[in-house]
Amino acid sequence: MVELSFTDKAPNKICDYIYDLASTFNRFYHDNKIISEENNDKKASWVNLISLTMKVLETGLELLGIETPERM
């Protein structure tokens, strides 16, 4: 997405991508009880997914020059 945004000179594509990612993640987080999950492998994979999603969102916002809060 970053390459396409650069090629097309369209930073809005990064905005659209991180918006879609945040919306999808929000649905996932709402639908799954991560803390109370009894399957430790599933819980660990979900925690990794959260970390990766956070890194992608932070990178996208950084590319747009938007500061991210340390905590929500």
Angle in degrees, CA 64, 9, 19, rounded to 5: 45
The answer to whether residue 72 is domain-embedded is: no
Per-residue pLDDT, 29: 95
**57 or 1, which is more confident?**
57
pLDDT of 52 > 90? The answer is yes
Q: Residue 47's domain spans which residues?
A: 2-63
The answer to whether residue 13 is domain-embedded is: yes
Structural contact between residues 60 and 14, judged by C-beta atoms closer than 8 angstroms: yes
Structural contact between residues 14 and 62, judged by C-beta atoms closer than 8 angstroms: no
The answer to whether residue 29 is domain-embedded is: yes
pTM beyond cutoff 0.75: yes
How many domains is the chain partitioned into structurally? Answer: 1
Structure confidence by residue, pLDDT tens digits, 10-50: 999 999 999 999 999 999 999 999 999 999 999 999 999 99
* Through-space distance between the first and last CA atoms of the chain, rounded to whole angstroms: 26
pLDDT of 72 > 70? The answer is no
The answer to whether residue 20 is domain-embedded is: yes
The answer to whether residue 69 is domain-embedded is: no
Q: Which of 50, 15, 51, 45 is closest to 29 using CA atoms?
A: 50
The answer to whether residue 24 is domain-embedded is: yes
